[in-house]
Structure 1
């Protein structure tokens, strides 16, 4: 493989951001130098995306449905929409995760809702028929576990997108838009230990009962997350080939 990837960070918390970059690096199976870290909270999206073979977008405590957005959040969401449009048009390849799927759904004219939250911890995800033949998702088992923690989700698959994965609690777990943009509601990048460390940063953010941290952490550590990691490996293999 050759080329470099870009990690786009949407997290204001620096410790969580650095740890997420490391999780993506390990999940993608690339070196430090091959995954460039871009802090979108503090710096606008670079104009020269063509320098990179592909882009991965991390999660965020921001929500598309927030009613009191700061200028920073509004600018960040606009930059992510610009990145998503470039991937949909085939000018780059991208994987958007968690918060990012809401940005893409809204760009495509879909609805983002608070009706399908998922608790912090492992969830079972099932591939659709289209998911089983997708370039990336088709390498996964038809049913697998992944880690989630979100307050909002796509109400339905947005116009023009292809639903790839679902479950009962959150019907839109993943989709593809165009030929080069994938979006997941679940987190494909963290190990269970990395996810617990992220939980510590967001302990008071309302994703879980802060007083139940030990119990929730123990539940997280029961998860098997090899399949989501395989998803990242297949993305890296595709865009860096």
Structure 2
């Protein structure tokens, strides 16, 4: 059985539980262990037991002016995980908030100039993305769910751009062979994403007065390739 770990960085327990279930379904395996960085410190030795690590989303933002001690600790732990991946010691797929952590760690700028509201979004793979074992089979374009207030201003040094669109040019990149980052959410089904919206109704990802309309659009979307990316990520590193 493929050994996988979900790293949780969501303060909202209900949303975190649902996200864990979404990753388990998307990855196509029954058992995906969980490490909640808000509840326990990082045990780097534990990571070595897994063939792949996936990092979930969070309402945290790297660009937040005021940060709690918990958020600062989470960001530090994610940077440590990213360094291990860059060294090729573990394979990690970072999503949402954590792409900002990795971008900043690499010396890149995180901006609030290219946000995307909660919606299904079409992204295009680059030439490098088309040749990548995880993103390549989804070329030339795929529909995924987005909901973010910040993103990478440009591709950080040492990274290879895998996917882009006009609204948010840095949608996904790879560093080396073992570190993947995605600004979007690859794991939820339309139902998953619609349910997740209830936890963040008043947090700025969409107009709360338009909740029913936005949720209806999410439920009507055809989104499958995000899960396919995660399954290929797991399969690529299953024997690593």
| TM-score where L is the length of structure 2 | 0.97
CA contact (8 A) 1:175 1:184 kept: yes
2:214 & 2:224 partners in 1: Cα distance?
Answer: 20
Q: Secondary structure at the match of 1:211?
A: helix
1:45 pairs with 2:81: no
The 5 Å alignment of 1:192-203 reads 192-203=190-201
1:47 & 1:164 partners in 2: Cα distance?
Answer: 28
Report the alpha carbon displacement of residue 144 of structure 1 after superposing the two structures with TM. Answer: 1.3
1:188 & 1:84 partners in 2: Cα distance?
Answer: 19
The list of structure 1 runs, each at least 4 consecutive aligned residues, that deviate by more than 2 angstroms after superposition, is none
2:153 & 2:237 partners in 1: Cα distance?
Answer: 30
Two-structure CA RMSD over aligned residues (Å): 0.8
Cα offsets for 1:188-221 (capped at 9, x unmatched): 0000000011000110111111111100001112
Q: Secondary structure at the match of 2:22?
A: helix
Cα offsets for 1:60-102 (capped at 9, x unmatched): 0000000100111001000000000000110100000010100
Q: Secondary structure at the match of 1:159?
A: coil
| TM-score where L is the length of structure 1 | 0.97
CA contact (8 A) 2:129 2:139 kept: no
Q: Please, which runs of 5 or more residues in structure 1 have no aligned partner?
A: none
Q: Secondary structure at the match of 2:163?
A: strand
Match of 1:182 among 169, 180, 184: 180
1:30 pairs with 2:46: no
2:78 & 2:16 partners in 1: Cα distance?
Answer: 16
Q: Please, which runs of 5 or more residues in structure 2 have no aligned partner?
A: none
The 5 Å alignment of 1:102-141 reads 102-141=100-139
The 5 Å alignment of 1:73-84 reads 73-84=71-82
Cα offsets for 1:13-37 (capped at 9, x unmatched): 00000100000000000113xx101
Aligned length: 238
Report the alpha carbon displacement of residue 228 of structure 1 after superposing the two structures with TM. Answer: 1.0
Which residue of 1 is the match for residue 142 of structure 2? Answer: 144
Report the alpha carbon displacement of residue 227 of structure 1 after superposing the two structures with TM. Answer: 1.0
1:166 & 1:3 partners in 2: Cα distance?
Answer: 30
1:85 & 1:199 partners in 2: Cα distance?
Answer: 32
Cα offsets for 1:129-168 (capped at 9, x unmatched): 0000011001113111110000000001100000000000
Which residue of 2 is the match for residue 213 of structure 1? Answer: 211
Q: Secondary structure at the match of 2:145?
A: strand
Report the alpha carbon displacement of residue 119 of structure 1 after superposing the two structures with TM. Answer: 1.0
Report the alpha carbon displacement of residue 47 of structure 1 after superposing the two structures with TM. Answer: 2.2
CA contact (8 A) 2:95 2:185 kept: yes
1:223 & 1:88 partners in 2: Cα distance?
Answer: 35
2:52 & 2:230 partners in 1: Cα distance?
Answer: 12
Report the alpha carbon displacement of residue 3 of structure 1 after superposing the two structures with TM. Answer: 3.9
1:178 & 1:47 partners in 2: Cα distance?
Answer: 20
